[in-house]
């Protein structure tokens, strides 16, 4: 593994095999559709989308795509995520199964609402 950190999400995605690139691109497009005002960044060496703070990170691993929507994104959809390996802040989507794009959309919309609420609270 190279120690050079990617400068943007395109560079990050390009570093993986075609099948993984396809999944990373699907997640990216799903997030952008659910949060069109979000901006892309590389944070902790992973793709991240920001809108009033980080909405979500995602990353490719050997056998899965890691999706990191903060604890609330996992807790809120716990029953729908039962088929996936989760921890307090991470979800693992296996590379050999289709991505749950509808569920990813719901998680992103929740995160957008949370970050907008947090931004409003800060302004007061």
Q: Where are the domains of the chain?
A: 9-114
Confidence of residue 1 (pLDDT cuts 50, 70, 90): very low
pLDDT for res 23: 97
**Inter-residue contact 48 to 78 (CB < 8 Å):** no
pLDDT in tens, 36-75: 999 999 999 999 999 999 999 999 999 999 999 999 999 9
pLDDT for res 2: 46
Percent of the chain with pLDDT over 70: 97
pLDDT for res 123: 73
CA pseudo-torsion sign 43, 60, 31, 100: negative
Kindly provide the b/e burial profile for residues 90-123, where b requires at least 16 CB atoms within 10 angstroms of the residue's own CB: bbbbebeeebbeebbebbbebbbebbeeeeeeee
pLDDT at 3 over 80: no
pLDDT in tens, 85-94: 999 999 999 9
Token reading at 51: 């809108």
pLDDT at 114 over 90: yes
- Say if domain 9-114 classifies as CATH 3.90.1150.200: yes
Confidence of residue 4 (pLDDT cuts 50, 70, 90): confident
């Amino acid at each position: 593994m190279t120690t050079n950190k990617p400068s943007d999400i395109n560079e990050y995605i390009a570093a993986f095999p075609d099948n993984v690139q396809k999944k990373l691109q699907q997640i990216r497009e799903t997030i952008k559709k659910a949060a069109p005002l979000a901006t892309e960044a590389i944070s902790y060496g992973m793709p991240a989308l920001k809108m009033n703070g980080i909405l979500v990170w995602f990353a490719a691993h050997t056998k899965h795509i890691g999706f990191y929507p903060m604890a609330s994104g996992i807790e809120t959809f716990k029953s729908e995520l039962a088929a996936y390996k989760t921890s307090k802040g991470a979800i693992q989507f296996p590379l050999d199964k289709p991505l749950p794009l509808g569920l990813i959309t719901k998680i992103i919309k929740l995160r957008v609402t949370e970050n907008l609420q947090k931004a409003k609270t800060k302004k007061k």
